[in-house]
Amino acid sequence: METPTPNNSPRNNNPQIVWLLILVCLLTVLLLVALYSWIYKLPLKDAIFELIRNIIPGFIGALIAYLGVYLLFIQKGISVDLDQQLQTIKGIQEDLNITSSSNIIRGLIAKMKQLKPPFKSDLKLYTFWGLQDESDSDVLQDFNMRGTNVNAVQFLWSDASSENTITAKVNAEGQFLHVAFENISSAGSNVAIRLAGDKARLRSQKMRYVTFDLRISEGNEKVVVGFRVVNGWLQHWHYSNMADSFRTILLGRRCSINSQTKLSEWESFSIDLEEPSKWHLFKSDGNYLYGPDEANFSVITSIIFEFGVVEGGQEGALSPRPGRGKGELDIRQIRFTETSEHLI
């Protein structure tokens, strides 16, 4: 905005405005006199007298009040130049970067995401999965469906958008879980085991391993299995040396098929709960935000087996997530142990 100069300053025009107002007032008085004379049928002289007697004192008082305000405030420079004030406000906004409000909002959201409530180890978040209490039993699931052990599966997952499928059924006589899967896409299907008695497991440090038995039938030698453990805060941790891969076991390398029964013998395998380098937070499921920053398995909520098929591979070696293919296998006796069996 152009800064006012002595030649164009609004203040130099104020006397002209005053005289214009005085002229308007005089014309208004003449109009009132004419109206008085016409309405009340008075001679012009009497109308002027009545107008002066009834109206002029109040008008003069208002005029004096205006002149007083003008002389005390306006003439001394306390006038409001709206354009100038708006420009000032705009300058302040630019100085404070308020005009980029979207950036401020994004910044606030980023800060909020960094906030984390104090971690409390006594939060029983496993109750969100329907587990009723805690147990110090070393048996996580034995598939003996009696008494309070009424459900061995917490959930089944497969990539339905790619027509992947998975089924699971408890064999009551043999006390094992039979799983069949078919992965059309590379996303491995998985089964989450519900702990026996609907109770989370308290683990003592001497019970370093989760051990389980696996078995395959003929034609399933290329089945691979990966692992996740869900702790007491419903955090999913996957078993791996790297964040984007799984440590898997190729069952055909350990499970030899009996030519007569077309089945392998049961083989025991273990995963190490006390080796931090083998565990990474799995952010595609569960409560990945609120909980310990490192794997903490003092309380266990579930064991998740993830299935796929690969060509070749090496036992315990890093591999991508189990992927395409179909297969079947059996699982039994998931438990805590002090020593390992075929450590993966």
Looking from the CA of 217 toward its CB, the CA atoms found within 13 Å total 10
Q: Mean pLDDT throughout 211-239? A: 94
Task: Name the token pair of 54.
Answer: 């009834």
Provide the whole-model pTM: 0.65
Return the percentage of the chain with pLDDT > 90, whole number.
Answer: 43
Task: Name the token pair of 128.
Answer: 């969100």
pLDDT tier for residue 206 given thresholds of 50, 70 and 90: very high
The domains of the chain are located at: 10-79, 125-337
pLDDT tier for residue 167 given thresholds of 50, 70 and 90: very high
Task: Give the tens place of pLDDT for each residue, 270-312.
Answer: 999 999 889 999 988 888 888 888 999 999 999 999 999 875 4
Q: Is pLDDT at 203 greater than 80 in this prediction?
A: yes
Task: Give the tens place of pLDDT for each residue, 63-102.
Answer: 776 676 666 655 554 444 545 555 655 555 555 454 455 6
CA dist 151 and 238 (Å) reads 24
Return the CATH class of domain 125-337: mainly beta
Q: Mean pLDDT throughout 51-72? A: 68
CA dist 314 and 34 (Å) reads 114
- CA 86 to chain centroid, in Å, comes to 40
The b/e string for 22-46 (b: 16+ C-beta within 10 A; e otherwise) is eeeeeeebeebbeebbeeeebeeee
Q: Tell me, what DSSP letter sits at residue 343?
A: B
Q: Tell me which residue of 298, 291, 301 sits closest to 123, measured CA to CA.
A: 291
Helices of type H across 55-199: 56-69, 82-95, 101-114
